[in-house]
Amino acid sequence: MSLRTVLPVCVALLVPGVARAQYQMISPMLFEGPRISLQDHVDRGRSATSSTLQADARSFAYRPDPARRRANLARFVDRSRAADPQGADNLAALFAQGDLIERMRPELAKYGLVIDNVADAYTVWWIAAWQASRGSDDDVSAATAAAVRRQVVQSMASTTAFGTAGDAAKQEMAEALLVQGVLLSAALEQARGDREQEAALSRAAIQGARGMGIDLMAMNLTERGFVPAQ
């Protein structure tokens, strides 16, 4: 997944500190439920019918509101400022250049994903976080993205909070996850060739994912989605 391609040149100013700060943006109400379920899916593997997945996937879609998006991004900047003031300023400048989320639409479409679905956004973040933890910028296939999305949908489907959340809550979480995915990809690109920065970003990605109940070091990414590391 090459999310960094949606960013302008100024993203080179972003630093791993932003990656560490980003996890403050996600609402605990929304991710507390699926944190165990997602990990459990990787550990054990589950099956679901295509009709069930399609029905569940629709429940994670939402109607985006431009004004709400601006507020979400502003809040993202504010919450990042405590950990990295300069990075927050750079983020604000980046967001001021146009609708970052909307610019992701054609890139995600290559993988069969959309910008206005929480499950799709979680898929983007999960893949980007794993890649950052491994220092890998290899592009993933559409089949791999689809497999991860199925894992996300199946796990989230068992969580009441996702099924009952309104458009505002879904949009806040989805946009936070999408921005996080882009920042992780951008930070990985910036750190390329610098072992110290790569290690710092890896630690940040692992720590952030652990806070969401995901042990990135315990899994590998494959065409079948995430599987237990051997």
Per-residue pLDDT of the chain (230 residues; tens, 9 = 90+): 655 555 543 444 444 444 444 444 444 333 444 444 555 556 655 555 555 555 566 778 999 999 999 998 898 888 878 777 877 788 888 888 888 899 899 889 999 999 999 999 999 999 999 999 999 888 899 999 999 999 988 888 766 566 677 888 889 889 988 988 888 888 888 788 888 888 888 888 888 888 778 899 999 999 999 999 87
pLDDT score at 218? 92
Task: Work out the number of other CB atoms within 10 angstroms of the CB of residue 26.
Answer: 19
In eight-state DSSP terms, residue 28 is H
Q: Which amino acid is at 134?
A: R
Tell me how far CA of residue 66 lies from CA of 88, 109, 190, in angstroms. 21, 20, 30
Q: Which residue has the tokens 């960094």?
A: 4
Q: Which amino acid is at 200?
A: A
Distance, CA of 148 to CA of 200 (rounded, Å): 26
pLDDT score at 39? 58
122: CB partners within 8 A, 6+ apart? 152, 156, 174, 177
Query: How many CA within 13 A on the CB side of residue 107?
Result: 19
Handedness of CA 107, 110, 116, 119 (dihedral sign): negative
